[in-house]
């Protein structure tokens, strides 16, 4: 099992690096319209200086750089391998307003500062100390800057008709993510954490991603694949059986699902 202090996402210990990067690409593409609607509602200047904290392979950093072409975007991540991928992507896409930097969210360099927007997408759910991470993330902002965290709460996700295996798979994934220091049900706690981190005017809105928008296959992928890596080898076989039962629902013409994406914002004093 991965070391607890690393939280529940430690890239070097994931079993299949290429698959994981491909999954992050798929998630960023299937949710890109939703992501754009978040960027729009943040109401920041088109020339903003933006930080994508926990940027991974940089797919969201690239979306930010394209959405704010007159702004500048910096992606920071603790995984050197993911940053290497991000830099390749940045060169291929020729995004001159995008750069990447290595850093640990709990211990960022002093020059990671003065941002108008700091964005954390699917990062807090993996961290042992989300409030500590938010305090640290707030330090990257100029006064009046916006901290925005996008995350999930699996208790609010639905798949119908619900196979019995969905409940046991959910419980398994939540249990193992928690064992590594993460929290897959963090979405509904974000406002409380933003207040604890002393951000001004914390607000939470919910955006719903549905099988109608992204197709039932993509929807089940999001439900399953993003949680699979936290399950230890000893439980992979049992989890695999559950997963097969869950994927079978995609063949049912009446199948549908929704997933609530929690978007929390707060302002730096
Ligand atoms: C699920 S991935 C999300 C990546 C990206 N934000 C996205 O939405 O595609 C979580 C990311 O958080 C990063 N991460 C985890 N702990 C971190 C830490 N302490 N400091 C910086 N990044 C961290 C991981 O390396 C990984 O890239």
CB atoms within 10 A of CB 183: 22
User: Would you give the distance in Å from CA 258 to the centre of its chain?
Assistant: 17
**Domain 4-153+183-208+260-267, CATH homologous superfamily name and number:** Vaccinia Virus protein VP39 (3.40.50.150)
28 Cβ inside 6 Å of ligand 1: yes
Question: Does 7 contact ligand 1 (Cβ within 6 A)?
Answer: yes
Ligand 1 atom 10 nearest Cα: 123
Q: How far is the CA of 8 from the centre of ligand 1 (A)?
A: 10
Q: Could you report the per-residue pLDDT of 78-134, keeping only the tens digit for each?
A: 999 999 999 999 999 999 999 999 999 999 999 999 999 999 999 999 999 999 999
Atom of ligand 1 at shortest range from CA of 11: 25
Residues 6+ apart with CB under 8 A from 218: 26, 30, 211
CA 8 from chain center: how many Å? Answer: 12
Residue 199 has φ and ψ, to the nearest 5°, of -85, 145
Q: Is the minimum distance from the CB of 105 to ligand 1 under 6 angstroms? A: yes
Q: How far, in Å, is the centroid of ligand 1 from the Cα of 231? A: 18
Per-domain boundaries in the chain: 4-153+183-208+260-267
pLDDT, one tens digit per residue, over 32-69 is 999 999 999 998 999 999 999 999 999 999 999 999 99
Site to probe by mutation for ligand 1, drawn from 3, 28, 77 as the one with most ligand atoms within 8 Å of Cβ, is 77
pLDDT in tens, 175-232: 999 998 999 999 999 999 999 999 999 999 999 999 999 999 999 999 998 888 788 8
- 217: its two tokens: 């296959």
**pLDDT at residue 39, as a whole number:** 97
φ, ψ for residue 77, nearest 5 deg: -150, 155
């Amino acid at each position: 099992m991965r070391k607890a202090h690393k939280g529940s996402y430690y890239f070097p210990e994931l079993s299949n690096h290429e698959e994981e990067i491909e999954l992050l690409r798929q998630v960023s593409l299937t949710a890109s319209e939703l992501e754009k609607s978040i960027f729009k509602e943040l109401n920041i200047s088109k020339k903003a200086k933006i930080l994508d904290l926990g940027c991974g392979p940089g797919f969201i950093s690239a979306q930010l750089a394209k959405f704010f072409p007159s702004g500048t975007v910096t992606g920071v991540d603790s995984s050197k391998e993911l940053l290497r991928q991000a830099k390749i992507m940045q060169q291929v896409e020729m995004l001159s307003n995008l750069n990447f930097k290595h850093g640990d969210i709990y211990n960022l360099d002093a020059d990671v500062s003065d941002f108008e927007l700091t964005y954390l997408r699917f990062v807090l759910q993996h961290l042992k100390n989300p409030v500590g991470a938010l305090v640290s993330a707030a330090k990257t902002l100029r006064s009046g800057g916006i901290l925005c965290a996008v995350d999930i709460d699996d208790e609010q996700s639905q798949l119908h008709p619900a196979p019995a295996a969905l409940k046991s798979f959910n419980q398994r994934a939540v249990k193992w993510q928690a064992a590594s220091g993460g929290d897959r049900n963090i979405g509904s706690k974000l406002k409380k954490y933003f207040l604890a981190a002393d951000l001004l005017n914390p607000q939470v809105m919910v955006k719903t991603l549905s099988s109608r928008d992204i197709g039932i296959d993509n929807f089940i992928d999001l439900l399953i694949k993003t949680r699979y890596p936290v399950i230890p080898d000893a439980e992979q076989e049992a989890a695999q059986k559950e997963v097969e039962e869950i994927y079978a629902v995609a063949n049912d013409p009446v199948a549908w699902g929704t997933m609530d994406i929690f978007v929390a914002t707060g302002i730096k004093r």
